[in-house]
Structure 1
Amino acid sequence: MTGKKERGLFELYQQDPERADRVVFGRVAHSDRRGFLKGAGLATMGAVLGASIPFHRNMPVGLIPEALAQSDESVLFETKDGLTLLNDRPINAETPAHLLDDAITPNDRFFIRNNGLVPQFAIDGDAGGWTLTVDGEVNNPLELTLDDLRSNFETVSYELQLECGGNGRSAFNPPARGNQWTVGAIGNAVWTGVRYADVLGAAGVKDTAVYTGHFGLDPHLSGDPTKTPISRGVPLWKAMEPHSLIAFEMNGEPIPALHGFPVRTVCAGWPGSASQKWLNRIQVRADVHDGPKMGGQSYRMPAFPVAPGDEVAHEDMRIMESMPVKSIITSPRSESVLPLDNRSIGVRGHAWAGERSVARVDLSIDFGATWIRADLDPPANKYAWQTWRQVIRLPSQGYYEIWSRATDEAGTQQPFTVGWNPRGYGNNAMHRVSLRVPS
């Protein structure tokens, strides 16, 4: 299946400025006006910038207003340490594998996957007017402030990993549309908040309830307040799982603006899109939620194996739930060179398996002919990733690859390569790093 590649603001303007104006701001005038915005498009641009543009007729095609080029979101990204920017509008960035070595991923190294813009109140760190509405299939609809959450429910903290459903997309062949994540759209943080189940319990869930719908305050890229960039949900049983949280802290601090300040859901082990940022409403539903990016092929997997490049009908796609077993090598860094006269090296990383735990991690230095079992730590709690380590000795000088293969508690192993997915989701192929041993 072919599709439109997801591109950032600057890349889009560089390659096709008139189309960029249409996508980002709306309708563009005829070519004799050199692509200048007018009508609804001009109004939209003014809304995004927060003011009218008196000399808009003089704006050349492809000009990115300085207020957007130097946006608060760009400043927020500068707080990140070493992340690779994949898209600038919306901001999407992954963490190189070697920067994921910590057992707890620091906030400044946690990947970013946004669908819309970061709300201004989150950038300002002002939660004064924030409330959470819980309605739908409930007996007692709620409207809660941040103080209500903290004072009316038990506060809990868990280590929970979140992974983008498209992590590993860059390895699909033929290429799949979307951000070309390698392996770094994953992080494991200490999330603090209240149990999702406790809030639903206070609302009195009806017997008709089967699913939740999450709504956030992130503005649509167009600036149109009637549009929602993403609104997904989870089956009721997942929301009621004891480790599913309505969180307000990340690693002991208020959740950063890029990650959902002041409150988000954390439904770990599932695609990160199931954990709504900037949360302001939970709608309990009697049917599967149908918000933006719940239908079609968004965050869905084929119901059966398909050949690379094949199109898959919408009705043959199934909503992603538990993420597959996976591991990552965080040390050594790929393309490392060992010191002279030293052929021993410590190898370490993490592994996780969605709703399951990881039973073992094995390493290979001979392209999968033989395997060395790694020492594997148990998870701090369910849905936390597990750290593993091993010292290996390389037999001679030369080029080597280290492969890591995790196996979950049900016996499912990471494959060397995965089947085709038209949207590039769920790639859990083995992670490989290279190194050289000099003579």
Structure 2
Amino acid sequence: MMRFGKRERSLVELYADDPERADAIVFNRRGALKGASLAAMGAAVGAAIPFADRMPRGLIPAALAQGTAQGPRLVTFEGKDPMINLGDRPLVLEAPETLLDDPVTPNNRIFIRNNGQIPEPAANPDAWKVRIDGEVNTPLELTVGELRSRFQNVTFQLQMECGGNGRSFFVPQTRGNQWGNGAICNAAWTGVRLKDVLAAAGLKPSGKFTGHYGADPHLSGATDRAAISRGMPIEKALEEHTLIAFVVNGGPIPHINGAPVRLIVPGWPGSLSQKWLTRIQILDKPHTGQGMGGTSYRVPVVPIVPGSQNDGSSFVDMTSMPVRSILTNVANGTRLPSGTRTIALRGAAWAGEKTVRAMHVSIDYGSTWQEMRLGAPANKYAWQRWEGSVTLPSDGYFEIWYRATDSDGKMQPHVAGNWNPQGYGANPISRVAILVG
């Protein structure tokens, strides 16, 4: 717009540059959108806003949340569908929620989270060796072929989720890759139970923790330190769904996702699911490898001031991932024909060690919620698919809000809570904007 010969920023630009000021201008003192402000907001989002009277003050409309940017940058990596590029060194690619519409995530839609360089592919995958040592009676060095033939092979649908999934929702911004909700997959993994291999090695009573090692070189090229080397309590290692996996979805694991063999530690941070696995060490005390201690994969016991510095000495290791949901058949910014009144919705929800007991959707900014149909998991640690539909009162701008509730009754919060310096555990209600007409 022009004013006194000077071009002023549009509402879209203002929300991108200074959302607090935009909010103060648009909403009146009673927190309501009326008159010229309502018209300006409607112009900014591209349509009339039927539920404007229910829009909370302080809410940046989903249509404007990315400001004037053209949305996330999508790249195509060999063997993958176009994904959101969060980093090239190391390579980090997130699956858009609409890529996760399959009940079982296909290989070309499994996200990528690297911590170091990518190792060379195995010349002979069956000859790749994994060593089990430390607090065991009989240290073992087993090839992938021996793992296949010596131990029972099992297949489970298992959620694997980056510990920082949802990090971009924290305010203020934290360190690390700014994930949305797409650092998740629910593939069918085949392998052997880690507990069976540890039984063969003869676990000592002193074996209380694990330490994991992989073949990926450190990002710097240094040979005296690992790219990442995490560990877990022995109880999780002995859980029947914790696998040494060598097959995904009936075929070889893609090299970029850890071939020829990797750990799968479902329901807990994906950093425990060591790729390009070479060694599991059994320890009598917690592992001290790269990615352990301090603020790494750890969250506060007592909330800290957002944006403050903290050495993590009072934090605890992150274990079960929090309840989260995705909407997989409607993308943010979807435009629908005039007269559309019913929209079919579907997606997935999961809750780490727990299950999901309810899934709800709102189209009026959380004023009312409608329950969706929720399926059962295929097995423990598999995500749960949900579906349903919503009815719109008219054409216009709408936001679909969606939230899951876990088996303990804990639901996704309205904003990301328990802020921490490296951004773990953010799981707020998600939303997408749609325009009808």
2:423 aligned partner, one-letter code: G
Which secondary structure does the structure 2 equivalent of 1:282 belong to?
A: strand
Matched-pair contact (CA < 8 Å) for 1:142–1:203: yes
| Residues 253-332 of structure 1 aligned to structure 2 (within 5 Å) | 253-332=251-330
Which secondary structure does the structure 2 equivalent of 1:331 belong to?
A: coil
What does residue 110 of structure 1 align with? 110
Distance 1:154 1:134 in 2: 18
CA shift for structure 1 position 85: 1.4
Distance 1:289 1:354 in 2: 22
1:78 aligned partner, one-letter code: E
Distance 1:129 1:249 in 2: 15
Q: Does 164-173 or 376-385 show the bigger shift?
A: 164-173
Q: 1:167-226: per-residue Cα shift (whole Å, max 9, x none)?
A: 111121111111111111111100000001100111111111111111101111122222
Q: 1:308-331: per-residue Cα shift (whole Å, max 9, x none)?
A: 212223211111100001101112
Distance 2:220 2:402 in 1: 42
Distance 1:113 1:192 in 2: 20
Distance 1:277 1:315 in 2: 28
Q: 1:98-134: per-residue Cα shift (whole Å, max 9, x none)?
A: 1111111111111000101111134xx5325421110
Distance 2:396 2:112 in 1: 37
| Residues 201-216 of structure 1 aligned to structure 2 (within 5 Å) | 201-216=199-214
Fraction of identical pairs, as percent: 54
Q: 1:49-92: per-residue Cα shift (whole Å, max 9, x none)?
A: xxxxxxxxxxxxxxxxxxxxxxxxxx992321011111111111
Unaligned stretches of 5+ residues in structure 1: 1-74
What does residue 91 of structure 1 align with? 91
| Residues 57-136 of structure 1 aligned to structure 2 (within 5 Å) | 77-122=77-122, 126-127=124-125, 129-136=127-134
What does residue 402 of structure 1 align with? 400
CA shift for structure 1 position 365: 0.7
Distance 1:245 1:79 in 2: 24
Distance 2:403 2:213 in 1: 37
Q: Does 338-347 or 284-293 show the bigger shift?
A: 338-347
What does residue 52 of structure 2 align with? none
What does residue 176 of structure 1 align with? 174
What does residue 387 of structure 1 align with? 385
1:144 aligned partner, one-letter code: L
Distance 1:82 1:343 in 2: 31
1:425 aligns with 2:399: no
Unaligned stretches of 5+ residues in structure 2: 1-74
| Residues 41-56 of structure 1 aligned to structure 2 (within 5 Å) | none
Choose which of 366, 369, 373 in structure 1 pairs with 2:367: 369
CA shift for structure 1 position 153: 0.3
1:352 aligns with 2:350: yes
Matched-pair contact (CA < 8 Å) for 2:298–2:312: no
2:421 aligned partner, one-letter code: P
Matched-pair contact (CA < 8 Å) for 1:302–1:312: no
What does residue 62 of structure 1 align with? none
Matched-pair contact (CA < 8 Å) for 2:126–2:145: no
Q: TM-score, normalised by structure 1?
A: 0.81
Matched-pair contact (CA < 8 Å) for 1:134–1:281: yes
Distance 1:322 1:175 in 2: 23
What does residue 219 of structure 1 align with? 217
Matched-pair contact (CA < 8 Å) for 1:76–1:258: no
Matched-pair contact (CA < 8 Å) for 2:76–2:83: no
What does residue 151 of structure 2 align with? 153
Distance 2:197 2:189 in 1: 17
Choose which of 188, 191, 194 in structure 1 pairs with 2:189: 191
- The aligned length equals 362
Distance 1:76 1:389 in 2: 29
Distance 1:224 1:330 in 2: 41
Which secondary structure does the structure 2 equivalent of 1:77 belong to?
A: coil
Matched-pair contact (CA < 8 Å) for 2:127–2:144: no
Distance 1:341 1:369 in 2: 24
Which secondary structure does the structure 2 equivalent of 1:434 belong to?
A: strand
